[in-house]
Amino acid sequence: MNQQKQKLMDAMVKIRFSPVEDSTFSIYEEYESLLEPDYTDDICTLCFYRGESYFRIGKFTEAITDLMKCIRENKNPRLLWFTACSYNILGLIYSFLGNEFLSMKNYQHCLSISKKEHLFHMITVSYLNIGGLYRDLNDDGKAMEFYKMAEASAGKDSSSPYNLEVLCLAYQGHIYCRQNKFHLADAIYRRIETLTAQDKNFYYSPSLYCFYIRLFYHLKDTRAFTENLNALLDMAASRQDFLEFLEFYYDICAYLICIRHQEEAYRLLNCMEKSAASTDLVAVQYRIAQLKVSYSKHFLTEMEYISSCEAFINLEEQFIQYTNHMKRMHIHNVEELEQIKMDTRLLREKSQIDQLTGLFNKHTIEYKVKEYLETMDLGKSSALLLIDMDNFKHLNDILGHLTGDKVLKDISALITECFSENALCGRIGGDEFLVYFKQCNAQSTLAAQVENFKNLMKGLTYGSEKNYRIHASMGAAFTTKETCNYPALFVCADGALYTSKQQGKNQLSFGNTI
DSSP state of 79: G
Q: Which residues sit opposite 474 in a β-bridge?
A: 387, 508
Which carries the bigger pLDDT value, residue 200 or residue 177?
177
Which carries the bigger pLDDT value, residue 219 or residue 197?
219
Lowest-confidence region among 129-133, 291-295, 320-324, 358-362: 320-324
**Predicted pLDDT at 343:** 63
**Predicted pLDDT at 198:** 72
Lowest-confidence region among 272-276, 329-333, 421-425: 329-333
Is residue 348 pLDDT above 70, yes or no? no
1-7 contacts, C-beta under 8 A, 24 or more apart: 1/34, 4/34, 5/31, 5/34, 5/42
> Taking the CA atoms of the chain, what radius of gyration do you get in angstroms?
30
Pick from 95, 165, 173: nearest CA to 129: 95
Is the four-CA dihedral 328, 331, 336, 339 of positive or negative sign? Answer: negative
pTM tops 0.85: no
Q: Which run of H or of E encompasses 85?
A: helix 80-96
When pLDDT is cut at 50, 70 and 90, the band that residue 85 belongs to is very high
When pLDDT is cut at 50, 70 and 90, the band that residue 489 belongs to is very high
What percent of the chain clears pLDDT 70, i.e. is strictly above it?
92
8 Å CB contact between 278 and 314:
no
Pick from 298, 293, 209: nearest CA to 249: 209
pLDDT in tens, 137-196: 889 999 999 999 999 998 776 555 568 899 999 999 999 999 999 999 999 999 999 988
**Predicted pLDDT at 274:** 86
**Predicted pLDDT at 379:** 76
Average per-residue pLDDT in the chain?
88
Is residue 485 pLDDT above 60, yes or no? yes
8 Å CB contact between 49 and 16:
yes
**Predicted pLDDT at 292:** 93
Is residue 349 pLDDT above 60, yes or no? no
Pick from 145, 108, 148: nearest CA to 126: 108
When pLDDT is cut at 50, 70 and 90, the band that residue 61 belongs to is confident
Pick from 362, 384, 383, 387: nearest CA to 501: 387
**Predicted pLDDT at 281:** 72
**Predicted pLDDT at 131:** 95
- Spatial CB neighbours of 506, under 8 Å, sequence gap ≥ 6: 390, 454, 471, 472, 473
Burial 456-487 (b: 16+ CB within 10 A, else e): bbeebebeeeeebebebbbbbbbbeeebeebe
Lowest-confidence region among 202-211, 237-246, 288-297, 355-364: 237-246
Start-to-end C-alpha separation, the chain: 26
pLDDT in tens, 302-316: 999 999 999 888 888
**Predicted pLDDT at 355:** 83
**Predicted pLDDT at 465:** 80
**Predicted pLDDT at 291:** 93
**Predicted pLDDT at 488:** 94
- Residues 48-65 have a mean pLDDT of 90
Estimate the crossing angle of helix 205-218 against helix 164-178, to 10 degrees: 30
pLDDT in tens, 34-49: 888 778 889 999 999 9
**Predicted pLDDT at 441:** 86
**Predicted pLDDT at 195:** 87
- Residues 185-211 have a mean pLDDT of 86
Phi, psi at 469, each rounded to 5°: -115, 165
Query: How far is residue 412 CA from its own chain's centroid?
Result: 31
pLDDT in tens, 96-125: 877 888 899 899 999 999 999 999 999 999
**Predicted pLDDT at 514:** 81
8 Å CB contact between 161 and 123:
no
**Predicted pLDDT at 339:** 66
Pick from 229, 301, 238, 232: nearest CA to 259: 229
